Structure 1
Amino acid sequence: MGASRLDYDWDVSPPTIASSFLTATFIVGFRLADGSVVSIVIANVVAHLMLFRLKRTMKHPGRKRRRLRGEPLEARQLMAADFGGYRHNIYDAEDVNDDGRVSAIDALLIINAMTNEISRDENMFTDVNGDDRRSALDALRVINRIERGDGFPVDTDADEELNPPLPETPSEVRSIDGTGNNPNDHFWGSVGQRLIRMAPAAYSDGISKLAGADRPSAREVSNVLSAMNTSQVLNDRGLSAFVYVWGQFIDHDLGLSESDEHGEAIDIAVPEGDLWFDPTGSGEAVIPMRRTPIAEGTGTSIDNPAQQFNQITAFIDGSMVYGSDAATAEGLRTFVGGRMAISDDGLLPLDESGMVIAGDVRASENVGLTAIQTLFVREHNRLADEIFATDPEAADEEIYQRARLVVTSLIQSITYNEFLPALLGEHAIAAYQGYDASVNPGIANEFSTAAFRLGHSTLRDQVGFMSNDGRESQDEMDLKDAFFHASMLEETGIDSLLKFDASVQAQEVDLVVVDSLRNFLFGPPGAGGLDLIAMNIQRGRDHGLSDYNATREAYGLSRVESFGQITSDVELQQKLASLYGNVDNIDLWVGLMAEDHQRDASVGELTGKVIADQFQRARDGDRFFYQSVLTDSEIESIERSTLADLIERNTSVEGLQENVFFMQVELRGRVILASSIPPTTMPGDLREDEIRGVPGVAIELIGASGELVDSTVSDRYGNYRFRALDETGDYQVRLSDSSDAIDVLVAHGAERIRGLDFIVLA
């Protein structure tokens, strides 16, 4: 394994002498395991890590970080939930000893674990990179984090901002409609191109009639599989609401296949007596729906089945901000100083019907989406003003294109470096090897019509507004009331919405969907409405998508032979069997959402394959991808500018967690026996061996409204912790059946609050 590969995969950038030392160190560590050698290795590593610490630069110099109190290793080792040394710590992977900071100790613990097989501490999170093993790569990742400067909690009052670069005017500008990107095929990835099929078309007549003619009504499938009969199931990896906000935002950059209002009706039959759509039991209710238009010249025979087409560009090129055609792009510009149209209060302009005027026609679908659309127009104008300030002689077009290049690069970087690793896991997409003219970036039907509609499962049923302290700034609203209500932002602004998205957890990626999406009524029950899940299923049949098993085969996976190979949930297996009969007849969207998730990912095997394939082709087949057109220093600056940075640059929001795609909070403390504390000593000043923890004490976590959020019992050392917090705000930790309580304010989505200790008499 060469040093250059390590540098690329793990962003290793220490001084040259230290890099060569690190490679040698790990070779020694692997070859020798006796105590003397390990001691020498550790001493040298500590010396070099201290050098890294002295030379580090803050990744977010303007963002204050709360200093966390360190804990002795012994107090941490036997926390009740920490079993399995290979387990990946999703809360902070590089914090190996789970003490609230990333330091040289963490790297040393990994090295020690690798070189001392007998005395492994199985309670340490030593699988830092999530690859199911301990290796030098785990230690390197810890060291890189320290060297980057974000391994040591620090307090800073620095006002310096981390801004993206201002590149010179590009020698060639990306077209608005996507044409001319590929030197061999002028139209690859451009507006109007046919969707790619990875699996054969599966129309019931082989030509164009809806697939799944022998399957139950899409509404029946929705009722059986997607009804929310219990409380919301939150994402088990702590993904925040930004996973669906950004997912929708980027989806609108990649594809659009709108139905034709004059097209053929494919209404969805509603089961008789459906409580929402047929409460009178008429048996005649339907959910109205029309077919997607097909590409001209297709759908004429079995050899030429119907094909759909993409109405926007297939590249991640910021088309939802800038448009996919010249008329739209021009209508969004002021043609003064390179700026785009925006109101005096920093909001997108509205048309006569109250919808925002943006690069994509769907920008008003919900206020969360409108907020992030607005954010990127603000960023464009901020960049345009900065470019003009540094070069007052620059023409409007030059400023516009320079700002557009940076904004598009930021969107690409956030997608590939934050969003996709959060959703798919760290290693789902291969490392970038540069532009490849043989790669068609076109949108796969399986991706746009099935796999990337997973976001519908993750939405919460409420939209909220939060202030910088993590508390609600006004009452939540039902999700259904946030649809096509862009004018509401004139009252709320976008700041509190963006803070909310970073401060609450998303729902799990599964088949269960909130009522606002599944039973969206136009009036009282029976007055008509929509079921987005039934429409997802029906749209897959409209597009002639192959079934789940055939699609697995098309993506190079083995076919499943039982429902148990799709999901370990026995009840779900039974439901699938009752609807489809066998595993070769499952609607693709249903099969994807039913899959057990891959390790360290929030999607199943085929879902991950489909999404990774699409994003890898969209990247590798884009001649203007930011890593191909920017300088090394510009690339580094773009990649250091996270979505959190971008929000804080363009709003009044402060104190966001570094990675806003995760909302992972931990509260921790200890129950201490009073008699073990000397009279003149405070608990925080005691050595670990001087105090005694009390096991078996029940502790409760209480929400702001007095509801029980979670409960636990102290372990044999008196330690306890809570990780079941799904949003920021006020909480109380209390001993059960006692008046002893501690008030806690969780201000952001990465809080680690420790030292919530209780002293008891017995």
Structure 2
Amino acid sequence: MLFWSKRTRKHPGRKRRRLRSEQLESRQLLAADFGGYRHNIYDAEDVNDDGRVSAIDALLVINAMTSETSRDENVFTDVNGDGRRSALDALRVINRIERGDVFPIDTSGDEDLNTLLPEMPSEVRSIDGSGNNPNDHLWGSVGQRLIRMAPAAYGDGISTLAGANRPSAREVSNVLSAMNTSQVLNDRGLSAFVYVWGQFIDHDLGLTESDEHGEAIDISVPEGDLWFDPMGSGEAVIPMTRTPIADGTGTSVGNPAQQFNQITAFIDGSMVYGSDAATAERLRTFAGGRLAISDNGLLPMDESGMVIAGDVRASENVGLTAIQTLFVREHNRLADEIFAADPEATDEEIYQRARLVVASLIQSITYNEFLPALLGQRAMDSYRGYDASVNPGIANEFSTAAFRLGHSTLRDEVGFMSNDGRESKDEMELKDAFFHASMLEETGIDSLLKFDASVQAQEIDLAVVDSLRNFLFGPPGAGGLDLVAMNIQRGRDHGLSDYNTTRQAYGLDRVETFDQITGDVELQQKLASLYGTVDNIDLWVGLMAEDHQHDASVGELTGLIIADQFQRTRDGDRFFYKNVLTDSEVESIERSTLADLIERNTSVDGLQENVFFMQVELRGRVILASSIPPNTMPSEVREEEIRGVSGMAIELIDASGKLVDSTVSDQHGNYRFRALSETGDYQVRLSESGEAMDVLVAHGAERIRGLDFIVLA
């Protein structure tokens, strides 16, 4: 069986132990908890979110459909999550009632996936991306210029840095991106995989490395900067050099400097296989179609301690190295299966067939899981087949600004978790995980991948953790850099247009005031103090400052830039999996999720179906004891006979004893907790009596009910 799943459902264990209470920290509600046409991400058919599905839920949908003035302020009438409310929503509730109000359990991973492996294709994708387009053989290939959607905005119109009248990029970073002690987690429950996969796929699409011997564009550091100029010399800088420009550009105002992509622009698995023949050959064993891998299932390493992979950045952090390793394992697993099924196949045939499947899996996961999680379900047009008129080239606005959003989502720690959702090893600071691939020999990749599925990412905004803003690749003065300042400076290096001009280039209206970018008054004031006018904002800053769109974790322009790029990448790729595979082969590829791929190549099991979300719910009731007959469980009593107790305070406490959240029971005695940012041990405690239940959250989609307290009065 080529693709299979071993995902299983685990039941939480409970135990009693003494934990101390600490002060409650603030936590943003999930985006699904406000706005119109809402969808209940925890239990779609529970329209009024009371913990059960009944005729009342169907009636609420029907009433909302027939009332022109109805608003979804307190109910979730978009049952099927399509952004509308219709008879289909009511029908889904009714069908659930007819089945009985049983909490939905995902069974998609309980059976083997009968997959068809594609035969050796008549034409294989080139390693350097050339020959993809029949009209222009170089579109999307190595060395092609980055596309500009907005005009170049160099200081002299030719090549000097943009934004000469703007503050230092480090000053902007200090004002806008310094984090306080609390971490604002993603308001839609995106998991850490949103940045792990984002970086992984970014390294498949583009590379514009600066030249270490190129022109210096050092970032000036404000005098007395706490990290980079603690002695107040006023002379400190963050070192940086320019990106090389394409030959023949930068000669005049009519021919401004352009940058070029050093890898292929396609989602073709180039970070696994390379973008040039020499790299591709270095990675192969030339036996049985396999890629080189160590005896313990890790990527080989060179003499400097860096992993040998298809992309030069594979060692940047251990999370990235782990997922790079995962796909080499998948390639070799496929190669072994192909050889077993067809012993007469040559090494080249096995390699190319496995490579086709791996690239197809990466494409499917990107378009069917990652992008909907990030942008929402309706951000991109449906696929209509290959279009030779579409240039798949990478846009400068995408690679140099919009797709650097992942820098905002990283947590300041890297963790390790076992299959029960508990920590298996002490977490490490993110700053210590850079270029530390050798540690995988001790930890392996399993606990890292489980961790990424089991914790929520940071919000996509301007705030960035200290490990990236002050300690990137080392402490200040010893290699330490500021990634936020570098993002801003790189945009100026590439001559990116300002935020407002780029809006216009993508077909949006220009904004006239700062409050049209963000509703955050404090952020409006900071932007005004730095830039003076909405027409002068660095593109990356404006994108990260935007209020998010409904059902998405990005703002309006950010979503457009990313959607445009991925649509062109898809539609302009003659070897896109939906264009080269049969319908049955496409179906089998799409049935294999990232969770499946992890579990069939590691010892990890029990992952949630969609590892890009970490959304956990605990709920129960406070019940009056007199409404429950002696020697009877609440579940054995008819719902209408049970009397709930309102106004009872309940606390949620984590394994360290910290108070995570608190709530009070509603008029029916119901309560719920959704502020869990990671898996592991928790305690639910009735404040008045101190009675407590210990709960184990084992995976990132736990829905644990029945956490009931029975009180005398």
Contact (CA 8 Å) 1:225, 1:575: kept in 2 or not? yes
Q: Secondary structure at the match of 2:684?
A: strand
Query: What's the Cα RMSD here?
Result: 2.6
**Could you say if the C-alpha distance between residues 520 and 343 of structure 1 is closer, same or farther in structure 2, counting changes exceeding 3 Å?**
same
Equivalent in the alignment of 2:537: 586
Q: Secondary structure at the match of 2:661?
A: strand
Equivalent in the alignment of 2:405: 454
Letter matched to residue 677 of structure 2: D
Equivalent in the alignment of 1:429: 380
Deviation of 1:120 (Å) = 8.1
Equivalent in the alignment of 1:63: 7
2:217 and 2:661 map into 1 onto residues whose CA distance is 46
Percent pairwise identity: 85
2:507 and 2:483 map into 1 onto residues whose CA distance is 30
Which deviations, in whole Å up to 9, do the C-alpha atoms of 1:616-649 show, x marking residues without a partner? 0000000000000000100000001000000001
Deviation of 1:161 (Å) = 3.0
Equivalent in the alignment of 1:374: 325
2:327 and 2:96 map into 1 onto residues whose CA distance is 29
Equivalent in the alignment of 2:24: none
Equivalent in the alignment of 1:262: 213
Q: How is 1:289-328 mapped onto 2 (pairs within 5 angstroms)?
A: 289-328=240-279
Which deviations, in whole Å up to 9, do the C-alpha atoms of 1:256-306 show, x marking residues without a partner? 000001100000000000010000000000000000000001000000000
Q: How is 1:549-628 mapped onto 2 (pairs within 5 angstroms)?
A: 549-628=500-579
**Could you say if the C-alpha distance between residues 435 and 138 of structure 1 is closer, same or farther in structure 2, counting changes exceeding 3 Å?**
farther
Deviation of 1:677 (Å) = 2.0
1:172 matched to 2:116 = no
Equivalent in the alignment of 1:753: 704
Deviation of 1:380 (Å) = 0.4
Which deviations, in whole Å up to 9, do the C-alpha atoms of 1:194-231 show, x marking residues without a partner? 00000000001000000000000000000000000230
Q: Secondary structure at the match of 1:278?
A: coil
Deviation of 1:735 (Å) = 1.2
**Could you say if the C-alpha distance between residues 137 and 386 of structure 1 is closer, same or farther in structure 2, counting changes exceeding 3 Å?**
same
Equivalent in the alignment of 2:618: 667
Contact (CA 8 Å) 2:58, 2:94: kept in 1 or not? no
1:721 matched to 2:656 = no
2:109 and 2:398 map into 1 onto residues whose CA distance is 44
Q: Secondary structure at the match of 1:720?
A: strand
Out of 148, 151, 175, the position equivalent to 1:224 is 175
Equivalent in the alignment of 1:9: none
Letter matched to residue 40 of structure 2: N
**Could you say if the C-alpha distance between residues 676 and 94 of structure 1 is closer, same or farther in structure 2, counting changes exceeding 3 Å?**
closer
Equivalent in the alignment of 1:275: 226
What's the TM-score once normalised by structure 2's chain length? 0.92
What's the TM-score once normalised by structure 1's chain length? 0.86
1:188 matched to 2:130 = no
Deviation of 1:524 (Å) = 6.1
Q: Secondary structure at the match of 1:709?
A: strand
Q: Secondary structure at the match of 1:370?
A: helix
2:144 and 2:8 map into 1 onto residues whose CA distance is 47
Q: How is 1:591-740 mapped onto 2 (pairs within 5 angstroms)?
A: 591-740=542-691
Equivalent in the alignment of 1:45: none
1:126 matched to 2:70 = no
1:721 and 1:246 map into 2 onto residues whose CA distance is 31
Which deviations, in whole Å up to 9, do the C-alpha atoms of 1:303-323 show, x marking residues without a partner? 000000000000000000000
661-670 vs 121-130, greater mean Cα deviation: 121-130
1:181 and 1:132 map into 2 onto residues whose CA distance is 36
Which deviations, in whole Å up to 9, do the C-alpha atoms of 1:56-97 show, x marking residues without a partner? xxx9874323689xxxxxxxxxxxx97778212233546656
1:104 and 1:736 map into 2 onto residues whose CA distance is 30
**Could you say if the C-alpha distance between residues 425 and 231 of structure 1 is closer, same or farther in structure 2, counting changes exceeding 3 Å?**
same
Out of 470, 473, 483, the position equivalent to 2:434 is 483
Letter matched to residue 355 of structure 2: R
1:287 matched to 2:238 = yes
Q: Secondary structure at the match of 1:454?
A: helix
1:212 matched to 2:163 = yes
**Could you say if the C-alpha distance between residues 379 and 104 of structure 1 is closer, same or farther in structure 2, counting changes exceeding 3 Å?**
farther
Higher relative contact order (CA 8 A, sep 6+): 2
Deviation of 1:611 (Å) = 0.1
1:186 and 1:142 map into 2 onto residues whose CA distance is 52
**Could you say if the C-alpha distance between residues 420 and 132 of structure 1 is closer, same or farther in structure 2, counting changes exceeding 3 Å?**
closer
688-697 vs 344-353, greater mean Cα deviation: 688-697
Contact (CA 8 Å) 2:46, 2:57: kept in 1 or not? no
1:585 and 1:667 map into 2 onto residues whose CA distance is 47
Contact (CA 8 Å) 1:114, 1:135: kept in 2 or not? no
2:600 and 2:357 map into 1 onto residues whose CA distance is 14
Contact (CA 8 Å) 1:64, 1:155: kept in 2 or not? no
1:663 and 1:225 map into 2 onto residues whose CA distance is 27
Deviation of 1:738 (Å) = 2.9
**Could you say if the C-alpha distance between residues 593 and 629 of structure 1 is closer, same or farther in structure 2, counting changes exceeding 3 Å?**
same
1:279 and 1:534 map into 2 onto residues whose CA distance is 18
1:623 and 1:561 map into 2 onto residues whose CA distance is 42
Letter matched to residue 421 of structure 2: G
Q: Secondary structure at the match of 1:388?
A: helix
1:629 and 1:738 map into 2 onto residues whose CA distance is 64
**Could you say if the C-alpha distance between residues 425 and 118 of structure 1 is closer, same or farther in structure 2, counting changes exceeding 3 Å?**
closer
Equivalent in the alignment of 1:50: none
**Could you say if the C-alpha distance between residues 110 and 674 of structure 1 is closer, same or farther in structure 2, counting changes exceeding 3 Å?**
closer
83-92 vs 528-537, greater mean Cα deviation: 83-92
User: Number of residues paired by the alignment?
Assistant: 687
2:96 and 2:605 map into 1 onto residues whose CA distance is 23
Deviation of 1:133 (Å) = 3.1
**Could you say if the C-alpha distance between residues 218 and 529 of structure 1 is closer, same or farther in structure 2, counting changes exceeding 3 Å?**
same
1:402 matched to 2:353 = yes
Deviation of 1:759 (Å) = 1.0
**Could you say if the C-alpha distance between residues 258 and 82 of structure 1 is closer, same or farther in structure 2, counting changes exceeding 3 Å?**
closer
Structure 1: segments with no counterpart, 5+ residues: 1-58, 69-80
1:335 matched to 2:286 = yes
Q: Secondary structure at the match of 1:339?
A: coil
Which deviations, in whole Å up to 9, do the C-alpha atoms of 1:115-174 show, x marking residues without a partner? 66499896542213555531245468889999xxxx985698997533643110001100
**Could you say if the C-alpha distance between residues 638 and 528 of structure 1 is closer, same or farther in structure 2, counting changes exceeding 3 Å?**
closer
Letter matched to residue 275 of structure 1: L
109-118 vs 183-192, greater mean Cα deviation: 109-118
Contact (CA 8 Å) 1:671, 1:760: kept in 2 or not? yes
Out of 498, 502, 506, the position equivalent to 2:457 is 506
Q: How is 1:241-256 mapped onto 2 (pairs within 5 angstroms)?
A: 241-256=192-207
Contact (CA 8 Å) 1:66, 1:153: kept in 2 or not? no
**Could you say if the C-alpha distance between residues 264 and 637 of structure 1 is closer, same or farther in structure 2, counting changes exceeding 3 Å?**
same
Deviation of 1:682 (Å) = 1.8
Letter matched to residue 143 of structure 2: G
